[in-house]
């Protein structure tokens, strides 16, 4: 598609400046992907282990791709590789040890690059069709085991066509903010290539502060970006006059953010589960319009949506029902999970013979103008920072700890509206009760960081309703801290005092002690963006999210900030001496 639609124009490129891709020049991505595919030989699945967001590769020649996040726990990566059965893993040498015991061939794109570059600069000539598998993306599963969604070429093609025509030109510069293990990044990648536009790789290896992200969007002349709505409050819309298009999805877009970010640019609210090839409905937000509930829009071409009741009958306009997805969007199913596939992908009573619908589990309602409004979930699945989370998966993994007898995980919102996972647990009899740090470490061995609860609340027993089921409404407020703290310790110097005040204001917790842990207080990547921005402004030094993650306690972070302040003072003094000859 990318080559046919590109015609006589320039090829899609990847701008890798600052991305640390030594030995791999930026340039037309399809050429380099063709070499790499020639290197693997034959048909088969390719799995890419990506060192953050460096250069990206294109699936060609009927091959299937699965992106692996190197930050995922080794056990989760092992399950993904074993289940998807890749023919080859594309990685970098410093990550290759993660696959040493896996029965899979490994190609290191840095160490093996001279060999890869020596292969023919062409796409292998292999049979392929619209029903071939394009990629597999893993999402949270309620059983404690992630599930792999199999997406076909026809589904990806249809979504790319709709999104590209909506917002991209040959001159567009698309910022790759989402990690490639998140399927929204695949849509950015393929739509950029199809338009002959430029994909811009971020410099940072991990999270940004708001000011850092704004600076990079400006210096790299970015015109389009996709992000979760929860990132928008950390950015200044007025500081990005060249940003022409913003596509948001994965969580609810608030009316306030819709009003601010639709001024002077195109803002599109995107709805689409992984099982629906990322974008099923799109809603261009109208500037100057006040929304009580920002719509998710209507279906893109060749996709169909139905709002049905429990008997699979359509509901009237304004009545809430479950959203069912049909047409080209529908994925093939879950890899190696025929039972779950049969449960979620059902016969389509409105389509041709053999057609299927995907039961999204999302509650929606039709507006009179033909757009859809999101109204919640039929189950306990939630979204955290745009990622799908099954609460039962977190509960099942937590219950696997020897010191835990019962557990319940819920989502709560803080004062700023950010979602936090809270784990309630009952200690197992006869064994020492684990600390919150021990429980957090246990979960981190199996789950991505966005699925690890912000707080752990010990209970003598979980509350039950009259029917003997868990009464989630009766679970107590988690308070400000869990059992990981060693008691309140007040600040001992001005730096610690300033940090305690900033943390208290941003996290809505009072008091905050110098040995309190950022994560124990409910901190996550979104609150870290606001916190880093406040600390940079207060101390006038360069503080990154990594500084916070490496030193999550105020005492240690204060020491690091004091070192940075002294370094700045020393550098300034040296400059004065050199200028005046003192």
**Structural domain boundaries, residue 517:** 494-579
Model confidence band, residue 480 (pLDDT cutoffs 50, 70, 90): very low
How much helix, strand and coil, in percent to the nearest 5, is found in the chain?
A: 35, 25, 45
Same domain, 512 and 565: yes
CA-to-CA distance for 269 and 251, rounded, in angstroms? Answer: 10
Decide if 332 is inside a domain: yes
Longest dimension (CA), the chain: 88
Average pLDDT, integer, range 375-379 = 84
- Strands of 147-152's sheet, edge to edge? 105-108, 88-91, 45-49, 64-68, 133-139, 147-152, 333-334
CA-to-CA distance for 579 and 566, rounded, in angstroms? Answer: 20
Same domain, 295 and 327: yes
Phi and psi, residue 180, nearest 5°: -70, -15
Decide if 212 is inside a domain: yes
Of the three residues 474, 508, 526, the one that is the final residue of a domain is 474
Same domain, 114 and 252: yes
Model confidence band, residue 222 (pLDDT cutoffs 50, 70, 90): very high
CA-to-CA distance for 567 and 561, rounded, in angstroms? Answer: 10
Decide if 380 is inside a domain: no
| Per-residue pLDDT, 479 | 59
Decide if 378 is inside a domain: no
Same domain, 324 and 437: no
| Per-residue pLDDT, 76 | 81
Q: Is pLDDT of 192 > 90?
A: yes
Check: CB of residue 121 under 8 Å from CB of residue 31.
yes
- Please give, one letter per residue, the 3-state secondary structure of 407-461: EEEEEEECCCCCEEEEEEEEECCCCCCCCHHHHHHHHHCCCCHHHCCCEEEECCC
Decide if 383 is inside a domain: no
The tally of domains found in the chain comes to 3
- The enclosing domain of 443 has a CATH number of 3.30.300.30
Task: Name residue, tokens 């990079």.
Answer: 216
Q: Is the peptide bond preceding residue 210 cis, with omega within 30 degrees of 0?
A: no
Same domain, 272 and 207: yes
Task: Please indicate whether residue 45 or residue 280 has the higher confidence score (pLDDT).
Answer: 280
Phi and psi, residue 170, nearest 5°: -60, -25
Same domain, 122 and 11: yes
pLDDT tens-place string over residues 147-158: 899 999 999 999
Task: Name residue, tokens 């040498």.
Answer: 93
| Per-residue pLDDT, 70 | 76
CA-to-CA distance for 274 and 186, rounded, in angstroms? Answer: 11
- 291 exposure class (CB count in 10 Å sphere: 0-12, 13-18, 19+): middle
Decide if 458 is inside a domain: yes
pTM: 0.70
Same domain, 218 and 281: yes
Model confidence band, residue 201 (pLDDT cutoffs 50, 70, 90): confident
- The enclosing domain of 521 has a CATH number of 1.10.1200.10
| Per-residue pLDDT, 415 | 61
Average pLDDT, integer, range 514-521 = 81
- The enclosing domain of 172 has a CATH number of 3.40.50.12780
Same domain, 461 and 359: no
Same domain, 358 and 448: no
Average pLDDT, integer, range 190-217 = 79
Decide if 379 is inside a domain: no
Same domain, 55 and 156: yes
Decide if 376 is inside a domain: no
Q: Is pLDDT of 32 > 90?
A: no
Q: Is pLDDT of 580 > 60?
A: no
pLDDT tens-place string over residues 415-468: 656 678 889 999 998 889 998 889 988 998 888 888 888 888 898 988 887 766
Same domain, 466 and 501: no
* β-strand pairing of 147-152 with 133-139: antiparallel
Average pLDDT, integer, range 398-418 = 83
Check: CB of residue 161 under 8 Å from CB of residue 167.
no
| Per-residue pLDDT, 364 | 95
Same domain, 416 and 273: no
């Amino acid at each position: 598609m990318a080559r046919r639609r590109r015609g006589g124009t320039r090829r899609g490129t990847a701008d890798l400046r600052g991305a640390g891709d030594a030995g791999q020049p930026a340039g037309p991505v399809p050429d380099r992907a063709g070499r790499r595919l020639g290197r693997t030989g034959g048909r088969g699945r390719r799995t890419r282990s990506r060192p953050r967001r460096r250069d990206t590769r294109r699936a060609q020649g009927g091959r299937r791709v699965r992106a692996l996040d190197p930050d995922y726990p080794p056990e989760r990566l092992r399950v993904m590789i074993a289940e998807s059965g890749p023919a080859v893993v594309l990685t970098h040498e410093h990550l290759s040890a993660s696959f040493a015991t896996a029965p899979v061939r490994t190609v290191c794109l840095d160490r093996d690059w001279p060999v890869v570059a020596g292969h023919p600069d062409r796409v292998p000539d292999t049979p392929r069709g619209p029903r071939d598998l394009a990629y597999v993306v893993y999402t949270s599963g309620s059983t404690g085991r992630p599930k792999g969604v199999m997406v076909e070429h026809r589904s990806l093609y249809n979504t790319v066509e709709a999104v590209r025509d909506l917002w991209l030109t040959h001159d567009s510069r698309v910022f790759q903010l989402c990690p490639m293990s998140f399927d929204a990044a695949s849509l950015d990648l393929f739509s950029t290539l199809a338009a002959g536009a430029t994909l811009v790789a971020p410099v940072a290896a991990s999270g940004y502060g708001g000011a850092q992200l704004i600076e990079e969007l400006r210096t790299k002349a970015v015109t389009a970006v996709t992000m979760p709505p929860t990132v928008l409050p950390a950015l200044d819309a007025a500081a990005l006059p060249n940003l022409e298009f913003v596509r948001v999805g994965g969580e609810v877009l608030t009316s306030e953010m819709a009003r601010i970010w639709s001024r002077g640019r195109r803002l599109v609210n995107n709805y689409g589960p992984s099982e629906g090839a990322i974008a099923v409905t799109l809603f261009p937000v109208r500037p100057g319009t006040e929304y009580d509930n920002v719509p998710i829009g209507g279906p893109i071409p060749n996709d169909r949506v139905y709002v049905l009741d429990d008997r699979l009958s359509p509901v009237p306009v304004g009545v809430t029902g479950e959203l069912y997805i049909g047409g080209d969007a529908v994925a093939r199913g879950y890899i190696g999970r025929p039972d779950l596939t049969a449960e979620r992908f059902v016969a389509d009573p409105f389509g041709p013979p053999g057609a299927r619908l995907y039961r999204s589990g999302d509650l929606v309602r039709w507006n009179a103008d033909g757009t859809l409004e999101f109204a919640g979930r039929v189950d306990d699945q939630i979204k955290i920072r745009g990622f799908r989370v099954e609460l039962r998966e977190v509960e099942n993994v937590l219950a696997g700890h020897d010191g835990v007898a019962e557990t319940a995980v819920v989502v709560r919102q803080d004062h700023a509206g950010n979602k936090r996972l809270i784990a309630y647990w009952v200690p197992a009899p006869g064994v020492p009760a684990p600390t919150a740090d021990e429980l957090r470490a246990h979960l981190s061995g199996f789950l991505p960081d966005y699925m690890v609860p912000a707080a752990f609340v010990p209970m003598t027993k979980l509350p039950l309703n009259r029917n003997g089921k868990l009464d989630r409404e009766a679970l107590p407020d988690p308070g400000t801290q869990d059992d990981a703290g060693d008691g309140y310790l007040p600040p001992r110097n001005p730096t610690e005092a300033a940090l305690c005040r900033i943390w208290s204001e941003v996290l809505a917790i009072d008091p905050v002690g110098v040995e309190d842990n950022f994560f124990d207080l409910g901190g996550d990547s979104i609150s870290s963006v606001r916190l880093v921005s406040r600390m940079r402004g207060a101390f006038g030094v360069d503080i990154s999210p990594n500084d916070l993650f490496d030193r999550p306690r105020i005492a240690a972070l204060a020491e690091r900030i004091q070192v940075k302040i002294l370094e700045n003072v020393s550098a300034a003094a040296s400059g004065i001496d050199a200028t005046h000859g003192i």
